[in-house]
Amino acid sequence: MKPGVSPDTFPPRSHEAKRTSVVDAAASVFCREGYAGANIDLIAAEAGVSRQTVYNHHGDKEKLFMAVVRDLTERCNAGIFATIATFPDQPADLESDLVAFAVRMNRNCICNRDGRFLRKLIQAEGERYPELFAEWREQGPGRTWSALAARFARLAYAGHLSIDDPDVAARQFLALVNAELQITFMLGGMPTEEEVLRSATNGVRTFLRAFGSRKTTSVRQAALTHA
Partner DNA sequence: ACAAATTTAGACAGGCTTGTCCAATTCGTC
Partner DNA sequence: GACGAATTGGACAAGCCTGTCTAAATTTGT
Distance (Å, whole) CA 18 – CA 180: 39
Among 21, 35, 104, 154, binds a copy of itself (CB under 8 A): 35
Distance (Å, whole) CA 58 – CA 43: 12
List the single partner that 14 binds among a copy of itself, DNA, none, CB under 5 to 8 Å by kind: DNA
Residues 6+ apart with CB under 8 A from 86: 101, 104
Contact between residue 138 and residue 112 where contact means Cβ atoms under 8 Å apart: no
List the single partner that 40 binds among a copy of itself, DNA, none, CB under 5 to 8 Å by kind: DNA
Is position 194 an interface residue for DNA (rule: CB under 7 A)? Answer: no
Rounded to whole angstroms, the maximal C-alpha distance in the chain is: 76
Is position 127 an interface residue for DNA (rule: CB under 7 A)? Answer: no
Is position 3 an interface residue for DNA (rule: CB under 7 A)? Answer: no
CB of 81 to a copy of itself, least distance (A): 18
Site string for DNA, 53-72 (x = CB under 7 A): x-xxx--xxx----------
If one counts every other C-beta atom within 10 angstroms of the C-beta of residue 158, the result is: 12
Residue 119's closest CA among 40, 202, 178, 185?
185
Is position 139 an interface residue for a copy of itself (rule: CB under 8 A)? Answer: no
User: Exposure pattern of 32-50 as b/e (b: 16+ CB <10 Å)?
Assistant: eeeeeebebebbbebbebe
**Binding to DNA, residues 33-52 (CB under 7 A):** 38-41, 48-52
Amino acid at 114: D
List the single partner that 203 binds among a copy of itself, DNA, none, CB under 5 to 8 Å by kind: a copy of itself
**Contact footprint for a copy of itself (CB under 8 A):** 32-37, 119-120, 122-124, 126-127, 133, 137, 141, 162, 164-165, 168-169, 171-172, 174-176, 178-180, 182-183, 186-188, 202-203, 206-207, 209-211, 213-214, 223-224, 226-227
